[in-house]
């Protein structure tokens, strides 16, 4: 297991709320002498970083540096000491290319890995270019860990186990419709700067939700080593039907940090089909939205006999590790099961590109729904 984590964006919300607290749950799993070097532009010292990290039981050091400054990044990597490391980019998407370029210029020690948070590019050409940069910097696809934390959720892990077991009844003969839902009661929660440039489709549907779809739709692999191949095959067989809806909650355009001219959606619905013998004739419905009456994140199978099965992923049972604990264990140990492979990221962008093109051309109007409602009616 790699014993050094260089965390770029260490003063940010993702690091403070999820990554650093997750280290606490890995106490006893991490190697002796495990150390975190936090890198950010905040005027902090080691003590301020430790306060930010809470009670994480590891060696914590802070290095002030700009992740897009080649000399500063090289200096930060030297601060981490000798041997392989994980360079974790907990950074805004707009800085990814510059930060990866700085890592490439500095050079990573043999055996190192680069971890990067979604979204993986802003469109299909952007994803292809980012993949080229990442593999060139890290040295191989296996040394790149694209983080989509939905794969680390314990309920998603349970879904993977069920699919690996080849559970019966997951096919078009038994399932009329598969719903992938990412419905939230919260609105922007201070994320207007990011969200208004992304929208519901880019924020969650293109990544979290298509990851869940790939797990439901895949042919069960023989073992976990074949998981990512099976997911890619499912994504390659997936097409948007042409039916989609976009909307935003009333009052969104007046929120601080929102540019009304962007026409950003806070709700997205897309109908898909998976052209495989297993799923021919089953409709796949994706619904994501903010400021809704009820929250639900997961999968619902509507069976042809009238029954339904719910697989809610955003729920943590007693004693279960948080998603980021599973993610960090995988990235530090050299695992790949919880990482999104480069071709997965590209296929996901391919699937949503026709939808984005329709929206950009104005072929799908931007509707409005009341905050706290069930959102727009379902597509037929």
Whole-number average pLDDT of the chain: 95
52 and 197 share one domain? no
For residues 224-241, give the mean pLDDT: 97
- Residue of 126, 155, 131 lying closest to 145 (CA atoms): 131
Three-state SS for 158? helix
Confidence at residue 203, expressed as pLDDT on a 0 to 100 scale: 95
169 and 304 share one domain? yes
pLDDT > 80? residue 55: no
Confidence at residue 133, expressed as pLDDT on a 0 to 100 scale: 96
Domain count, the chain: 2
Rounded Cα distance, 348 and 232, in Å: 9
The residue among 147, 177, 208 that closes a domain is 147
Has residue 378 been placed in a domain?
A: no
Q: What digits encode the pLDDT tens for the residues 87-134?
A: 999 998 889 999 999 999 999 999 999 999 999 999 999 999 999 999
Q: What digits encode the pLDDT tens for the residues 165-180?
A: 998 999 999 999 999 9
More confident residue, 54 or 238: 238
Question: Would you call the peptide bond into 280 cis, given omega within 30 degrees of 0 as the criterion?
Answer: no
pLDDT > 90? residue 315: no
139 and 247 share one domain? no
Confidence at residue 317, expressed as pLDDT on a 0 to 100 scale: 81
Spell out the residues 6+ positions from residue 146 whose beta carbon is closer than 8 angstroms to its own. 115, 116, 118, 120, 134, 339, 340, 341, 342, 345
Has residue 343 been placed in a domain?
A: yes
155 and 261 share one domain? yes
Question: Would you call the peptide bond into 119 cis, given omega within 30 degrees of 0 as the criterion?
Answer: yes
DSSP state of 292: B
Rounded Cα distance, 19 and 53, in Å: 9
**What ranges in the chain are assigned the alpha helix state H?**
13-14, 20-25, 46-53, 70-79, 96-106, 124-138, 154-164, 192-195, 199-200, 210-217, 227-236, 323-333, 342-360
Q: Which residues of 244-253 are buried (b: 16+ CB within 10 A; e: fewer)?
A: bbbbbbeebb
pLDDT > 80? residue 37: yes
135 and 155 share one domain? no
Confidence at residue 93, expressed as pLDDT on a 0 to 100 scale: 87
Has residue 134 been placed in a domain?
A: yes
Has residue 222 been placed in a domain?
A: yes
Spell out the residues 6+ positions from residue 363 whose beta carbon is closer than 8 angstroms to its own. none
Beta partners for residue 177, in sequence order: 283, 302
129 and 264 share one domain? no
The residue among 147, 175, 198 that closes a domain is 147
The residue among 117, 147, 177 that closes a domain is 147
Measured CA distances, 261 to 194, 303, 304 (Å):
15, 42, 43
265 and 212 share one domain? yes
Q: What digits encode the pLDDT tens for the residues 189-231?
A: 888 888 999 999 999 999 999 999 999 999 999 999 999 999 9
Rounded Cα distance, 299 and 234, in Å: 16
Has residue 256 been placed in a domain?
A: yes
Cβ(234)–Cβ(219) under 8 Å?
A: yes
Spell out the residues 6+ positions from residue 120 whose beta carbon is closer than 8 angstroms to its own. 127, 130, 131, 146, 207, 340, 345
What order of strands is seen across the sheet that includes strand 86-89?
Answer: 59-64, 35-40, 4-8, 86-89, 113-117, 144-147, 339-340
Confidence at residue 318, expressed as pLDDT on a 0 to 100 scale: 79
Three-state SS for 144? strand
Provide the CATH number for the domain around residue 232.
Answer: 3.30.360.10
Confidence at residue 319, expressed as pLDDT on a 0 to 100 scale: 82
- The first and second tokens of residue 372, run together, are 């706290």
Confidence at residue 281, expressed as pLDDT on a 0 to 100 scale: 97
DSSP state of 203: I
Rounded Cα distance, 342 and 347, in Å: 9
Three-state SS for 78? helix
Has residue 379 been placed in a domain?
A: no
Provide the CATH number for the domain around residue 73.
Answer: 3.40.50.720
Cβ(192)–Cβ(259) under 8 Å?
A: no
131 and 169 share one domain? no
245 and 99 share one domain? no
Q: Determine how β-strand 296-303 pairs with β-strand 175-183.
A: antiparallel
127 and 213 share one domain? no
195 and 257 share one domain? yes
- Which residues have a catalytic role annotated? 208
162 and 235 share one domain? yes
Percent of the chain with pLDDT over 90: 92
Rounded Cα distance, 210 and 41, in Å: 34
Rounded Cα distance, 153 and 156, in Å: 5
In which domain, by residue range, is 100 found?
Answer: 4-147
Q: What digits encode the pLDDT tens for the residues 327-366?
A: 999 999 999 999 999 999 999 999 999 999 999 999 999 9
């Amino acid at each position: 297991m790699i014993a050094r984590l260089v965390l770029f964006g260490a003063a940010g919300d993702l690091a403070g709320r999820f990554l650093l607290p997750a280290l606490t749950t890995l106490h006893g799993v991490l190697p002796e002498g495990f150390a975190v070097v936090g890198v950010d532009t905040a005027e902090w010292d080691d003590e301020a970083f430790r306060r930010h990290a809470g009670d994480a039981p590891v060696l914590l050091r802070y290095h002030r540096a700009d992740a897009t400054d080649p000399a500063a990044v090289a200096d930060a990597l030297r601060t981490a000491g000798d041997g392989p490391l994980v360079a974790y980019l907990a950074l805004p998407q707009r800085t990814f290319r510059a930060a990866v370029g700085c890592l490439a210029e500095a050079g990573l020690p043999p055996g190192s890995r680069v971890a990067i948070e979604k979204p993986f590019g802003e469109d299909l050409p952007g994803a292809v270019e980012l993949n080229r940069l990442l593999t060139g910097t890290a040295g191989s696809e296996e040394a790149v860990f694209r983080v989509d934390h939905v794969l680390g959720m314990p309920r998603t892990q349970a879904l993977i186990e069920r699919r690996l077991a080849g559970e019966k009844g997951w096919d078009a003969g038994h399932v009329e419709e598969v719903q992938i839902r990412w419905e939230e009661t919260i609105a922007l929660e201070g994320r207007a700067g990011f969200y208004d440039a992304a929208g519901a489709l880019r924020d969650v549907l293109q990544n979290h939700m298509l990851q869940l779809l790939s797990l439901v739709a895949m042919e069960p692999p023989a073992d976990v080593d074949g998981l990512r191949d099976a997911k890619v095959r499912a994504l390659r067989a997936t097409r948007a039907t042409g039916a989609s809806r976009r909307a935003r909650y009333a009052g969104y355009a007046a929120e601080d940090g929102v540019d009304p001219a962007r026409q950003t959606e806070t709700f997205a619905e897309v109908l898909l089909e998976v052209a495989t013998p297993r799923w021919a004739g089953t409709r796949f419905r994706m619904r994501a939205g903010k400021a809704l009456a009820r929250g639900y994140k997961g999968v619902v199978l509507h069976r042809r006999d009238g029954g339904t099965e719910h697989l809610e992923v955003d729920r943590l049972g007693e004693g279960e590790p948080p998603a980021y604990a599973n993610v960090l264990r995988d990235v530090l140990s050299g695992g790949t099961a919880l990482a999104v492979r480069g071709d997965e990221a590209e296929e996901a962008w391919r699937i949503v590109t026709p939808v984005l093109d329709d929206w950009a051309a104005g072929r799908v109007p931007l509707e409005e729904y009341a905050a706290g409602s069930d959102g727009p009616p379902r597509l037929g």
